[in-house]
Amino acid sequence: SQQGEEDPQALSIQEGENATMNCSYKTSINNLQWYRQNSGRGLVHLILIRSNEREKHSGRLRVTLDTSKKSSSLLITASRAADTASYFCASDNTDKLIFGTGTRLQVFP
C-alpha cells in the first residue's frame, strides 16, 4: 500500500496547549497537504507545502517538510476546543492524493 502513516493515532490535550502531529509518506511528492475532518463530515483543506519548501505557516498552523526523511509535521498552536477533529496528511505525487492514516485530536476546554 502507498498509504502514509501518522502518529500519534490519537492525541488529547487541554485548550491552550500545542498539538503536534507527524506524518510519513512513501513516494516522491510534488507537495504535501494537510486536511481536517470533523466527525461525520467531509475533508477540509488546511495547508499545502511544496516539495522545495521546508516550513510554512498559516495562522495557528505550522507545517514542516523533510523530503530526505519523507516526513512532515503539523503544529497547531494555542489549541481550542473547536480544533477537535481528525487530521490527515496527503502526499501529492503529480496526479493523485494518497492519505495518511490520520490523527484524532481531542482538545478539552
Partner 1 sequence: DAGVIQSPRHEVTEMGQEVTLRCKPISGHNSLFWYRQTMMRGLELLIYFNNNVPIDDSGMPEDRFSAKMPNASFSTLKIQPSEPRDSAVYFCASWGLGGYTFGSGTRLTVV
Contact residues toward partner 1 (CB under 8 A) are 3, 33, 35, 41-45, 48, 88, 95-102
Contact 6, 70 (CB under 8 A): no
Q: Quick one: 8 or 16, whose CB is closer to partner 1? A: 8
In the complex, what is the shortest distance from the CB of residue 14 to partner 1, in angstroms, rounded to a whole number?
Answer: 26
Nearest to 8 by CA among 64, 73, 76, 62: 73
Distance CA 8, CA 87 (A): 11
Q: Quick one: 36 or 107, whose CB is closer to partner 1? A: 36
Q: Quick one: 48 or 61, whose CB is closer to partner 1? A: 48
